[in-house]
Amino acid sequence: MVVVKSVFQMFFFLFSFLVLAQPYQRQDEFSKSQCSTVFEGTKTHDQLMSLLKGGEKTAQYAFDRSQEIRHPLLEKIIREDTVSMSFLANHRVYLSLTTSPTRIKYIEQVLGHLDLTHIKKVFVSIPWKFGRDGREYKIPLFVHNHPKIQILRMEKDLGPISKMLVAAEYLKKNDPDSYLISLDDDTDYPSTLPNEMISNMARHPNSVLSPSIHAVSSWNISSNLWEFENEPHGGQVVEGWASIGYPVNLLDTQKLRKFSQLSRFTYLSDDLVISFVLALDRIHKRKIDSPYLHPWGIYQHGFGFEEDALHRGGGGHEGYEGDFNMIKYEKALLEMNQTK
């Protein structure tokens, strides 16, 4: 029994060393690579992707390992990537988000650790007065003093779609060949996000990109309500909490503004409205499938679960305990189908 136990322990130790230590053994190989996309097909990349599909525990391990390997080499990797650098020579890339008077103090937690080396500006789009209760914004020092943050003001609060629409409208006039990455104000993103998104934009310049894309059936909505010839049955909804990358010149900001303001339900359903308009305009949506920008490595801060959260009904049905998206999305989709 003791011998069997010892053999088992030795086997388990050897297996753990070979599988779990493998990324560290291959660190030099990562330094020779140009960017995450060229890792596809390599042994290390395949191991990480396999772990990401293996459940929460193994997925988190894979994400942590990819960050440990990748982060120290990140700037070197993108500088040596001729595709990304050629893209950046011809297109500026911006970040954008919106927030509320109660959450603006947390923006540093969202932006403070991101690698903004290749980001031209970060737009914080806010109204003069918050539409939900008329409160004014107190701008924190981090926002005032950050060299890349620019506040974009709007006369009327457009709701959560302000995270991308206000900046998109501004860029359509001032930098139409640029690209825009939208973020949520209650989410902790990997520091590598901007460069990973740039790498994917450079290789898919005519697509809207996100690490998280789902069919409407994910919210118990009939797939028959989403019928577009250019999309799979049931549609593709890009999810803003995970970040979305846009080619600005492909966005129809007039349609986005129109559909988002149809009703209270469309007003609160920014991801659905954005995805619906993209489908109307036949703009391709592409899921980023990378262990370096993956939903398992994107965390929502605690204040993202408070009662003012939109997914809990904030601004539309406060106190709702379930996923309010299941209610508002179906109603919003019915209204948009009647209007298109």
**Global model pTM greater than 0.85:** no
Torsion of CA 296, 302, 306, 309, to 10 degrees: -40
Residue 94 lies in a domain: yes
316 contacts: CB under 8 Å, gap ≥ 6: 264, 265, 267, 268, 310, 324, 328
**pLDDT given for residue 147 in this prediction:** 95
**pLDDT given for residue 79 in this prediction:** 74
Residue 19 lies in a domain: no
> Rounded distance, CA 339 to CA 302, Å?
37
List per-residue pLDDT tens for the chain, 340 residues long. 444 344 434 443 343 333 333 332 222 233 333 334 434 444 455 555 565 555 555 555 555 555 544 444 455 567 778 899 999 999 999 999 999 999 999 999 899 889 899 999 999 999 999 988 899 999 999 999 999 999 999 999 999 999 999 999 999 999 999 999 999 999 988 888 998 999 999 999 999 999 999 999 999 899 989 988 888 877 899 999 999 999 999 999 999 999 999 999 999 999 999 999 999 999 999 999 877 787 877 877 776 656 555 544 455 554 444 456 788 999 999 999 999 8
Residue 331 lies in a domain: yes
Residues, the chain: 340
Q: Where are the strands (E) in 103-249, listed by range?
A: 122-127, 149-154, 179-182, 187-188, 207-210, 213-214, 237-238, 244-247
CA angle 282, 166, 244 (to 5 degrees): 50
Helix (H) or strand (E) holding 287: strand 284-287
User: Are 244 and 181 spatial neighbours (Cβ–Cβ below 8 Å)?
Assistant: yes
Distances, alpha carbon 255 to alpha carbons 165, 211, 273, 276, in Å: 10, 24, 9, 10
Sequence-ordered alpha helix ranges (H) in 150-293: 165-174, 193-203, 253-260, 264-267, 270-280
Domain limits for position 147: 80-339
Q: How many CB atoms lie within 10 A of CB 200?
A: 25
Residue 36 lies in a domain: no
Residue 59 lies in a domain: no
Distances, alpha carbon 112 to alpha carbons 109, 180, 187, 191, 207, in Å: 6, 19, 12, 9, 28
User: What's the CATH number where 87 sits?
Assistant: 3.90.550
20 contacts: CB under 8 Å, gap ≥ 6: 61
**pLDDT given for residue 18 in this prediction:** 35
190 contacts: CB under 8 Å, gap ≥ 6: 63, 67, 196, 292, 293, 297, 298
**pLDDT given for residue 47 in this prediction:** 59
For residue 306, the 8-state DSSP code is: S
Residue 18 lies in a domain: no
Residue 17 lies in a domain: no
Q: How many CB atoms lie within 10 A of CB 57?
A: 9
**pLDDT given for residue 31 in this prediction:** 30
> Rounded distance, CA 12 to CA 204, Å?
42
Residue 139 lies in a domain: yes
Longest dimension (CA), the chain: 77
Total count of domains within the chain: 1
**pLDDT given for residue 15 in this prediction:** 37
